[in-house]
Structure formats: C-alpha cells, structure tokens
Structure 1
Amino acid sequence: MKLLLVSPGWERGRLWGELGFKFPSLSLAALAAVTPPAWEIALCDENMEPLPLDTDADLVALTAMTPQAPRAYRIAAEFKSRGKTVVMGGFHASNLPDEALQHVDAVVVGEGDLVWPQLLDDYRQGCLQRLYRSSSLIDMTAIPVARREIFAGKRYLLTNTLQTTRGCPFDCEFCSVTAFYGRKYRKRPVESVLAELETLRKANSFAFFVDDNLVADRKYAMELFAGMKGMEFKWLSHAPIDFARDREFIAAAGEAGCVGMFVGFESLNQQALSAMGKVTNTARSYLDDAKVFRDHGIGILGSFVLGYDGDTPDVFEQLLRFCEEARIEAAIFPILTPYPGTDVRRRLEAEGRITSNAWEDYDMEHVNFRPVGMSAAELQQGYDWLNRAFYSLPSMYRRIFKLHRSVQVFAPMNFGFRGALKRTRRTITGDVP
C-alpha cells in the first residue's frame, strides 16, 4: 500500500508563502513514524515542489492550519476526482470537522498518533470511518522518533525539528494550542529526547524545539539542558518572557547552546495582557527582561498581537520604538485572528464583531473582525507600516548589528523577512517580476 502525505502550500503574496527559509512539517513525520512498515510513504510539500496529481498512492493524507484550509480542500477535490481516498487532520479540521468532511473522506480530530494506525487498518479492510478521535492523550513515553527520511531532498533550511512536550499550562485567549493539545503539560522522557538528539548531531548542528513552552517545567528543562551541555547544538525554541527572571535557569539554557527564543510579548499594555490571559507578562519589566536574554547569548524573536481592544493608532510607533530600544533581534506582528476553537473567537462572535470567515485571510496579516480602538483600515495600515519600519535597514542596524552570538541566526532572519515583505508588496500591487 502507498501513502502520500501532503502539506498544502501558501499563496503568493502571503508573508509565510514568500519566506525563503522553509521548515518541514514535524506532524507529518510523526504520522510517518506510527505508520506500519507495510506502507510505502512519500511526502509532498507544496512549498517546495509541485503537487504530484498523477501519484499512484492509494491514500492521500492532508494536514492544514486555518489559512491553508481552502488550498487543502482544493487539493482534496483534485485527488478525489481521480478516484483517490483523502483524509485530513491538523488544527483546522480538528476544530471544524463537519466542514472538513464536506471535502474529504475521513477526518482525524486532535492528536493523531494513537488513531492513525487504526485508520490505516480500517482503510485496508474497506471499512474507513468518517471521524477518528482518540479517547485519550498519548503516553509521552510512547512517542516514536520522527521519520525524518521523508524530508530527504526537499531543501529545507533544517530538518532537526523535534518536540519534547505537548500542551501549555496557560490559556491565552487568542491561542489555538490549548484547544488542540490541552492545558495539561506532558513531557517526553529526557533520556529519549537526548537519544534522538544524539542521532542528529553533526558539526555546528542547529535544532529547533517546536514546543510551545519548553521551560514550563523547570526541573524537566534543567535536566534536558544539563544533558545537552557539550553536545554543541545551536538551538532555538519558545519561552515566556518571565524566563528572564530566573538567572540560573536562563544561564543553563545558554550554556546548553540556546541562541534564540520565540517570546510572546503580545502587548505593551498591561490591561490588554490581563484581558488576553497572558499572566506571565509584566510590561514594565520588558526592557530589563530582554537585556537578560541578550546577556546570556539568547536572541529574541518577539511576537506582538495587534488589534486588541486597548490598542489605538499610536500603538504601532510605540512598538517600533520599544523593539529598537530593547534591541529585539526579530519580531512578528500578527493581527489578532479569531481562529476556530479559540476563546477570542467565541467572544468576538458573541459580540457580533467577526466580519469575515474567508479562511485564507486568517493568516495573521488581514483584519477579520471589527476593532474597538481604531478602524479596520487603520489596523491594516498600521500592520503594514510597522512591518516595513521594523525590517528597514536603519532599524535592523539599531537592533542587531552588535557583537552577539545570536547574530548568526537573526541577521539572516531579518534579511529573510525583509525580502519576503518586499515580494509580498510586489505581488499585492501586481508588480511581479
């Protein structure tokens, strides 16, 4: 039997579709790891290669985030018109399975590790069900090593992506992670993570931990960092800003090779932080906290959500000045997006403020709701201005061109975002080379 795993591509003119550096789908490699040996597996990532519509695969499996869902549905239609059976999972299908079932033959809701072998067996027996939902969360000791061989020849920036934990103990209003993985923070055994890392070791190896909060359990993370010390990895992951307030903890991460963290600042307004449930953030200490990261050799990819109720048109310049003063090495500025399954969507629906369900525009670049402190047009214009200003050459110089070990990661990242934003604007204005 033959299985084709498909990661839908991003449209031209979307920031995430224009970025030159690409990362593979770890979720598809995880599914491949629990696929029985009798199945021959191939991967198509549309961001890297054309869709093989003439495939001889028996079964096609799609995964998609919300902005990729329309493309996933079109892909499903293409394969179904050729007589293929198509199944789908991921964040969007898990939150809207009835919608997805209008386009595919079966949907996997939530974590697929446990039910995927059952789905494949049902398919072989000719009794595929419409919906697969695990009755429990997977035991983290049972997660096998991802099958990274499916990434061979794809020209990814790196394939050393791995996951050590699932879930998040916090419950931010805008976040879709807890809706998918739950709030229970579950951990793989440290020894199994270190064993997996050992198989990935090469000279000057980079690794990216996709965990939404690698440091939520101090004892666990300290054990992991101790094991990684001396492995000579340069690695990145996600951490809350209050990670800076435990000097021993953040020093251990730096000594273990951490060169960068994705940090959700989200807002400079403490009331907005409280409203969104960002309980670990104290805006008045941001400057000091950012310096602690930098002092330990750890650069920051910051995230600032635009459009919360406390935001006015002044917020865009305020954020730029803060980022430059704090020397935030890189940043994204997502527009508040009411993803299916999130608390913020339920709130905005109840308030009658959602203005669009065009899923392709749920890419954090478009306004899909009615803001309070400004018009939708002002929010969109402010987003565009802030990205251009932040990734301008003068701002890049002020933020990153200092002697710091994280520059090796963040200088290319800045130029990558700068180029992608330029290509996005050219596509939108029709000036496509």
Structure 2
Amino acid sequence: MRVLLLYPRFPKSFWSFEKGLELIGRKALLPPLSLITVAAILPQEWEYKLVDRNISEGVTEAEWEWADLVVLSCMIVQKEDLLAQIREAKRRGKRVAVGGPYVTALPDESRQAGADYLILDEGEITLPMFVEALEKGETSGVFSANGEKADVSQTPIPRFDLLDRHAYDTMAIQFSRGCPFQCEFCDIIVLYGRKSRTKSPAQVLAELDRLVELGFTQAVFLVDDNFIGNKRNVKLLLKELKVWLEKNRYPFRFLTEASVDLAQDRELLEQMVECNFYVVFLGIETPDAESLTLTKKFQNTRDSLSDSVEAMTKAGLRVMAGFIIGFDGEKPGAGERIVQFVEKTSIPMAMFSMLQALPNTALWHRLEKEKRLNSQMGNGNQTTLMNFVPTRPLEEIAREYIDGFWQLYDPMRYLDRTYRHFMMMGAPRNPVPRRRLNWGTIRALLTLCWRQGIVRETRFKFWIYLFSILRHNPRVCDHYLAVCGLLEHFYEYRAIVRDQIESQLAEYLAAKAAAESSSESVQESAAA
C-alpha cells in the first residue's frame, strides 16, 4: 500500500510567522506531528510519502500517480484547504481517509467533500479499525472510539524520518493529552478528556534520541495543551530528562503550553528551567475576574496573574499568553484592560482573539440552547468575527479588538515590552544550543538591524536596547533578537487583522441595517 500523507495549508494567522521565518530560511513553524504519528501507527510494511502544503507548492503529478491512498489530518483553521484537497484527490480517483480534530468535531463536511473513510477521535484506537476495514475490502467507513481514550503509553515513535529536516523552525513531540480544568470555551477537554494521560519518560527520551540520530537541531515544542496537567508524571519526566540532557550535552531547548498555576509550584518551575525549557504559553484570557469565573477558568482567579507572569519570567521562561475579548457580561473597555495588562507584565507576544464558540464545547451547547449561535463556523483565527450573538454590541467588541491588536503590535510598544521582558528574565542555567553561524544567519541579523535599527521609527531604541541587553543580560541576547525578529510578522499581520475585521464588520452592519429596515417596512405594512 502506497500512502500519501497530505497536510493542508494554514491561512495567515498569528502563528504563521511568514516574515520572521523568511529571515532565517525556514518555511514553516512546526511539522505535521499528527500525520507522522499516523504513519507510525499504520502498518510499517506500507510505503509513505509526506506532502506538507505549508512548505511546498502542493502535490506533484508523480506523487498523485504514486499514491494508492491519500490520508489527511487537520485542525479547524485548515478546513478550507482540507476540503479542497479531498475534492482534488477524488477528482483523480484516489481513495481518501481523513481524521484529526476538525473531522472529529464536524465529520459531515469531509464526507460531503468526498472522503471515503472518516477516522475520528484518537488514532491509536481508530486507525487499527480502519486497517481492518481495508483488509476486508471495505470501500468506505466511519471509525469512532465511542468515548474511549487512547493509552498513549503505547503510542509509537513518530516517523520523524519523513520530515524535511531543514524546513521547520521548531520540532514537535507530545507528552500528554487532556487537561484537568473545565474552561467553557475549550475544545481540548471535549476531544481528549479531563484526565491528563501521559507517555512514559522512556518514550519521550526515545523520541529525543531519534531526533538526535536524524540530525535535528531545532528547539522542541511539547505540544501538550497543558504540559503540567499531571504534575506528578511531569516531575518524573523532568527528573530523567535532566540526566538525558547532561549525557547528550544539551542538544535541545524546549517550549510548551501550561496553566498559570505553574508559578505556584516552585519545584516544577525550577525543574523545567533546569531542563532547558525557555518559553511557556499561558492561557490568561482576560484580567477581568468576573469573565474568568463565568467561563469557569477558576485556576486563573486563585493568585495574582501579573505576579505569576513575573515569577516565571524571572525564573528564566519567556512568557507568551493568549487573551480573549467578547465574554458574556463583559464590561466596555475590555480590550484596553487587556492591553494595559500586557504592558504591565511586559509580555512580548500576546495572542489576542475574539471569542468563538468551537463545536461541541460547553460554550457551544449553551449558546445553541440560548439560540445565539449564528451560521458562521468559528475557525479560531484572529481575522474572524465572533460566530455568536454577544451580550454587548458586536461592533463595540470588534472596534475594541481592532484597536487593542493595533496597539499591542505597534513597533515601539512591542520593542519596549520585549526589552523589559528580557531584562527581567533569568539567564539560561545550561549551555544553549546555537544556530550555526552561516550566511543565512548573518543575512537575517543584517536585515533585522537594517529594518528595525535604521529604517523604522524604532531605530534609536533598537540599538540602545540591544547594547543594554548585551551589557546586563548577555546570555539571553540570541533569544531577544529572535523575538525582535518576529515583529516582522506582526508588523504586517496587524494590518491584515484590522482590514479583514473591518471588512466583515461593515458587511455585518449593512446586513443588520437591511434587516432592521425590512422589519420596519413589515410593521408599517401591518399597521396600514
């Protein structure tokens, strides 16, 4: 069996980082971990080719001709290209199997596009069902775990050998699935449950051994939605990871996502820093305690959010954070309060979004019951209006959002926050893997200095801040410059956010005015 693993294209988003990646000669931020894990679970006597449409123009004629079966996986934000690729594969007479979070949440759309096999839920359970169906000669099918969760301690090492080693900025592995919390808007607990299931330390170290064997040198992102969801098992992993890193001369740095309560577990925080973790993404969402309580994000209400950010930063972790506007009962000015919090805590990269109801979440079901969902499907992108009727005017929320995003990624503000953050940051405890000094690295540095240090209004602060970092916290300088480089993405992306939201808002207001006018006409006719 010859299997073409096809990964759909992401639209431009907060995380696409095109301009920043161009500086360092990379094509995409992360590899398709889902598909190389699928390749590891499926029979190893089969042949596999991987086409990631985020790093290539698309599938070649030779690759289409070679394939007996096309397998796709995607998240909701990739759905447009997923459906297009399903149709293209079927046009060429190929059998198509699809899976992943989007297909699990909304399987009918892929079926209508022509997919033959829907592999829902977690592949460790449903892929063997799919293989059995193929062996029986079945030409279609839907394979579901029916609520059962996979034992990830049995998940094989992903097929990292299928990846283009030079295309990705950061590698990806997974330690756990699931999250113990109950945030109303989150689909992770719907997809993976509230029990954090983990791999064994031996599994994770074997995956790292494989990356070393294949010559990968990038930082490694543990893609867990809450890395510290099972603190006991995390500490056991970190204990063994520390020994592995020392033995292998610290080949990798790590980044991950975690809940804010990490700051209150000093032992765990210290272990992470000792194991070369250097970035953590936090779901802060909002500084408004009432909104956090309403959305059941209680873990963010127990301690000072700003103190937690400061504790992690001083320990040596660069903090990234997600923020959301549009919660029910939210008071006017929420966008400005988020901006003020980001400025106060000096978080360089704040992912700011309007709230969207994702399929099958508690929020989705509540809004559906209240008849507040509209026909627009949420996609999790920053360039999309809310897909439900909020409790305050949508136009008010949208304008606060546009203004807030524009302020957050004003070049001077971004540079100021980045400088303050890195001046506060604890220095790395261990040797830091460095990018090889080559012409590409030199060109990236020269381009950054030209754009931010000469051409733009940041020119004076850029040099003042750089020399200050070199003088007072020199071991974070490479990291500091990398974050400065990401401004190249946000410099363009903030205009994309503004233009697309304003366009959608204008359409919404026009439709609203037309509906109101039609309603008035009906009332006048009835009165006559």
CA RMSD of superposed structures (Å)? 2.5
| TM-score, normalization by structure 2 | 0.75
2:300 counterpart of 1:286: no
In structure 2, the CA distance between the partners of 1:407 and 1:182, relative to structure 1 (3 Å rule), is: farther
In structure 1, the partner of 2:6 is 6
Q: Does the CA-based 8 Å contact 1:213-1:239 persist in structure 2?
A: yes
Question: Which amino acid in 2 is paired with 1:316?
Answer: G
Give the 3-state SS of the residue equivalent to 2:96 in structure 1. Answer: strand
1:137 & 1:380 partners in 2: Cα distance?
Answer: 38
Task: Tell me the distance in 1 between the aligned counterparts of 2:359 and 2:297.
Answer: 20
Q: 1:308 aligns with which of 320, 327, 333?
A: 327
1:224-373 pair list within 5 angstroms? 224-229=237-242, 231=245, 232=250, 233-282=252-301, 285-358=304-377, 362-367=380-385, 368-373=387-392
1:204, 1:37 → 2: CA distance? 26
For residues 166 and 112 of structure 2, what CA distance do their matches in structure 1 show? 31
- Counterpart Cα distance in 2 of 1:348 and 1:205: 42
Greater gyration radius: 2
Residues 189-204 of structure 1: matches in 2 within 5 Å?
189-201=200-212
Alignment check: 8 A CA contact 2:383 2:496 kept: no
Distance 1:414 1:350 in 2: 45
CA contact (8 A) 1:265 1:303 kept: yes
40-49 or 65-74, which moves further after superposition?
Answer: 65-74
Give the Cα–Cα distance (whole angstroms) in 2 for the partners of residues 289 and 243 of structure 1: 8
Task: Give the corresponding residue for 2:186.
Answer: 175
The partner residue of 2:112 within 88, 102, 113 is 102
After superposition, give the CA deviation of every residue in 1:202-239 in whole Å (9 maximum; x if it has no partner).
Answer: 79752110111111222211122222225123111111
The aligned residue for residue 122 of structure 2 is 111
Instruction: Write out aligned runs for 1:135-214 (5 A).
Output: 136-152=148-164, 155-159=167-171, 161-201=172-212, 206-214=219-227
- Contact (CA 8 Å) 1:263, 1:301: kept in 2 or not? yes
1:58-94 Cα shifts (integer Å, max 9, x gaps): 1111112223223211211111011011111111211
The aligned amino acid for 2:71 is A
- Tell me the amino acid that sits aligned with residue 348 of structure 1: L
How do residues 39-50 of structure 1 correspond to structure 2 at under 5 angstroms?
Answer: 39-50=46-57
- Compare 257-266 and 326-335 and name the one that shifted more: 326-335
Q: Does 1:93 align with 2:163?
A: no
What one-letter code is carried by the residue in structure 2 that aligns with 1:393?
A: P
Task: Return 228-237 or 33-42, whichever deviates more.
Answer: 228-237
> What is the Cα deviation at residue 121 of structure 1?
4.3
Query: Contact conserved, 2:38 with 2:123, CA < 8 A, in 1?
Result: yes
Residues 241 and 45 of structure 1: is their aligned pair in 2 closer, same or farther, counting only changes over 3 Å? Answer: same
Q: 1:176 to 1:408 in 2, by over 3 A?
A: farther
Aligned to 1:26: 33
Number of residue pairs aligned between Structure 1 and Structure 2 = 426
Q: Secondary structure of 1:107's partner?
A: strand
Structure 2 residue identity aligned to 1:150: L
Moved more, 381-390 or 2-11: 381-390
Q: Give the drift of 1:362.
A: 4.4
Distance 1:172 1:408, change over 3 A: farther
Task: Tell whether the 8 Å contact from 1:267 to 1:305 is kept in structure 2 after alignment.
Answer: yes
Which range moved further: 73-82 or 17-26?
A: 17-26
TM superposition shift of 1:196 = 2.2
**Relative contact order higher in (CA < 8 Å, ≥ 6 apart):** 1
User: For 2:70, which of 60, 68, 74 is the aligned residue?
Assistant: 60
CA contact (8 A) 1:254 1:296 kept: yes
Matched to 2:188, the amino acid is V
Q: Which amino acid aligns with 2:6?
A: V
**AA matched with 1:78:** E
- Change in Cα spacing, 1:126 to 1:29, as seen in structure 2 (3 Å) is same
Question: Are residue 376 (structure 1) and residue 387 (structure 2) matched?
Answer: no
| Counterpart residue identity of residue 365, structure 1 | T
How far 1:41 moved relative to its partner? 0.8
Q: Does the CA contact (< 8 Å) of 1:3 and 1:39 recur in 2? A: yes
Flag the 1:415–1:376 CA change in 2: closer, same or farther, 3 A. Answer: farther
**More off after superposition, 102-111 vs 283-292:** 283-292
1:358 positional shift: 4.3
Task: Give the ranges of 4+ consecutive aligned residues of structure 1 lying more than 6 Å apart after TM superposition.
Answer: none
Partner deviation per Cα, 1:352-397 (whole Å, 9 max, x = no partner): 22233245x5424312222223x22232232232222212222223
Shift in Å, 1:151: 1.2
Shift of 1:416: 2.4
- The answer to whether structure 1 residue 72 and structure 2 residue 142 are counterparts is no
CA displacement at 1:275 relative to structure 2: 1.3
**Partner SS for 1:353:** coil
SS of the aligned residue for 1:37 comes to coil
Contact 2:333 2:400 in 1 (8 A): no
Task: Report Cα offsets for 1:318-338 as digits up to 9, x if no partner.
Answer: 211211111113210121111
**Counterpart position of 1:419:** 489
CA contact (8 A) 2:238 2:272 kept: yes
**TM-score (norm. length: structure 1):** 0.91
Over 3 Å counting, the alpha-carbon distance change for 1:59 and 1:171 in structure 2 is same
1:305 aligned counterpart, secondary structure = strand
**Preserved CA contact (<8 Å) 2:103 2:118:** yes
Q: Which of these residues, 133, 136, 142, is aligned with residue 131 of structure 1?
A: 142
